[in-house]
């Protein structure tokens, strides 16, 4: 689960995301323009992606007990985004592999 807090030097505290499932955190490795995207989802049809441009610093805070981690991202303009990550226990479910629609399955092995 992820919660996001954003504070900009000119805009102040911006609306936050609270306890939504984290889809992913990714960096632009093609253009190397210092952009990071953080994606969360309310449901299968409702996704939210926060794009952070001109990233100057990234810091990961993780307590020894592993309960909650925080990813601190600061942009060159001084905007700070904090992503609080909280682990949630997985419910016991039978194992299964889902084939993404854009991938081909290879059963030859």
Question: pLDDT of 62-79, one tens digit each?
Answer: 877 767 789 999 999 999
Quote the pLDDT of residue 66: 65
**Global model pTM greater than 0.85:** no
As a whole number, the mean pLDDT across the chain is 80
Query: Strand 68-75 to strand 80-86: parallel, antiparallel, or no bridges (unpaired)?
Result: antiparallel
Nearest to 38 by CA among 70, 76, 77: 70
Dump the DSSP string for 1-29: -EEEEEEETTTEEEEEEEEE-EEEEEE--
Question: pLDDT of 1-10, one tens digit each?
Answer: 899 999 998 8
Quote the pLDDT of residue 109: 44
pLDDT at 102 over 50: no
Cβ pair 20, 1 in contact under 8 A: yes
Nearest to 73 by CA among 20, 2, 19, 23: 2
């Amino acid at each position: 689960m992820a919660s996001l807090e954003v504070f900009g030097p000119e805009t102040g505290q911006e609306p936050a995301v609270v306890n939504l499932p984290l889809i992913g955190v990714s960096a632009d490795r093609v253009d190397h323009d210092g952009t990071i995207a953080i994606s969360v989802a309310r449901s299968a049809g409702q996704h939210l992606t926060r794009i952070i441009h001109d990233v100057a610093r990234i810091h990961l805070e993780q307590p020894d007990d592993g309960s909650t981690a925080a990813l601190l991202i600061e942009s060159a303009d001084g905007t700070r985004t904090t992503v609080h990550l909280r682990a949630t226990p997985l419910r016991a479910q039978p194992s299964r592999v889902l084939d993404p629609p854009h991938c081909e399955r290879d059963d030859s092995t």
